[in-house]
Amino acid sequence: MESVFGRYRNLIVLVGVLFAQILGLAVQVRRARDKDSEPTRLIRVWAVGAVTPLEKALSWVQTSSGGIWHNYFYLRGVRAENRELKQQIEQLRLQQARMIQDADQAHRLQALLGFKEQFIAQTTAAQVIGGSGSDLSRVIYLDKGYRDGVRTDMAVITEAGIVGKVLRADRATGHVAQVLLIDDQTSGVGSILEKSRLQGILRGTSSGTIELEKVMSDETVPVGEQVLTSGGDGIFPKGLTIGTVTKVSMGSDLFLNIRVRPAADLSRLEEVLIVTKVDEKQTEPDQGTPVRAADILAQRLPGVPAKPETAAARQGAATKNLTNQKPNSAATPKGTKPNLPSGPDTPNAQSTTPKSPSPPPTQIGGGAVQGSPAAGRANSGAAKVSATSAQSGTANPQPAVEKKNAPGTATGTGEGSGASAAKPPVPKPPAGSPASTGRATPGATDKAPKPVVSKPGNPDAATSKSQPATQDTPQ
């Protein structure tokens, strides 16, 4: 026996070591399937602790030397560039003026409809200091971790688009966080196509590309369409840019294969933003323009009391009057379409079952303003987070429930857009009052016309854990 061991010692040790590793692997796989979150293994802590200080140091040296070069030496063409930038600023100011009006209008409409929005309330800027070094594990390491307020499952974004989610951030690794990129094959992001509003799940592949799954093959998806986050995964706020559709082909199992090019360059990441706090609050008009569409409508329309007792009553009165009137096209700003067009997106609640363009599989928090130009702009704008601002308050309009409004509501929004251009001075109700929030109190509901609960064919909307399942639409 001893001679056998001596003769085949190397082979026996090899088999023993391999067996031990396979056993360990099997245990890890089983645990990973049983539990949602496995504790960080000591070997990972050691490896990260050994490698990341070097990476941090090297990143610092690279950034510093790059900064010195770019800020002090390489200043060729700065004058010409400055001139061009000034011209761009002038053009952008004009664009901004138009977009501010649109955004104000969208806010007023959402307030009118009692929607809730998700705001990226707080972000933390972090630097990418390392990766896994493996094509099959697309993770990166950031120089901010648990002790900097970073937690598992936080969204990681850049100004261009989303990057991934925090996979590990715990006390053991301290100031380092591991981020799973969206092109890893184990990642999944709830996604929605910007124009067609088709929803799917974005997954990475082993080759490093990302694909949108679960879109039925009978749908039409044009190449070049923008893909946004749907908010359905509970990690990424709704409306952040993911990328652009680059290829559409027929796949198996009645689904399309949609290849997406990420907006953020995932192979050249240097600085990212970690979304450390997402606020959710009732939409209110901007502080600078304390005028609500309902107030404007109440003033402009005869027969509607100027100061109704409750918000519900006011909204009810406004929408009731609006059903008998056409939108004031003269009051609508040029080039601004009235929101909530009466079409597939906003079917008549009193008519037969609305024909939805596509049944969203994982919709959470879709809104009546979906598909409207203002909503599209507002959603896109949500991803425009400045990488330089660590504390950002970028608005990310997040309607609570996909509502199919009554015709009065739809018409009212068109009127509201016109009213927004006029902006007559209307005193703002006191903050916190039902009128100021635009939400009906129980007492108010008694006095107001009985509201009609409009729940369109969006079963998942009611599953939203952070948003109200239903919204009352006074009629």
Partner 1 sequence: MAITYTSGEQVEVYRFSVPATIFIPLAAIFLQAWLPLRFHFFTIFDLPLLVTIGFATARRNPLAGLFTGGLIGILQDALTHQPIGLYGIAKTVVGFGASSLGIKLDVENAGARFLLTILFYVVHEIVYFFIARVLVSLQMAWSWPHEIFSGVANATLGLLIYALLDRVKQRI
Q: Name the residues that contact partner 1, by CB under 8 A.
A: 9-10, 13-14, 17-18, 21-22, 24-26, 28-29, 32, 41, 43-44, 46-48, 50-51, 54-55, 58, 62, 128-137, 139-141, 167-168, 178, 180, 184-186, 205-207, 267-269
Work out how close the CB of 26 gets to partner 1 at its nearest, in angstroms, rounded to a whole number.
Answer: 7
Helices (H), 189-279: none
C-beta closer to partner 1: residue 131 or 449: 131
Name the minimum Å distance from CB 467 to partner 1: 31
**Beta carbon of residue 45, minimum distance to partner 1 (angstroms, whole number):** 8
Angle subtended at Cα 16 by Cα 15 and Cα 20, rounded to the nearest 5 degrees:
115
The residue (of 57 and 92) whose beta carbon lies closer to partner 1 is 57
Only one residue has tokens 């928090």, namely 365
> In the complex, what is the shortest distance from the CB of residue 143 to partner 1, in angstroms, rounded to a whole number?
13
Compute the half-sphere exposure of residue 419: CA atoms within 13 Å on the CB side of its CA. Answer: 28
User: Scanning the structure block, which residue is given the tokens 């090019």?
Assistant: 261
Q: Are residues 475 and 452 in contact, defined by beta-carbon separation less than 8 angstroms? A: yes
Q: Which is nearer to partner 1, 38 or 286 (CB)?
A: 38
Q: Which is nearer to partner 1, 91 or 207 (CB)?
A: 207
Nearer to partner 1, 213 or 309 (CB): 213
CB of 459 to partner 1, least distance (A): 30
Enumerate the β-bridge partners of residue 63: none
Angle at 138 between CA 17 and CA 260, to 5 degrees: 145
Q: For residues 142 and 175, give the distance between their C-alpha atoms in angstroms, rounded to a whole number.
A: 8
Q: Which is nearer to partner 1, 186 or 325 (CB)?
A: 186
Residue type at 208 in one-letter notation:
G
> CA-CA distance, 120 to 44, in Å (whole number)?
31
CA distance 459 to 456: 8
CA 29 from chain center: how many Å? 32
* Least distance to partner 1, CB of residue 381, Å: 30
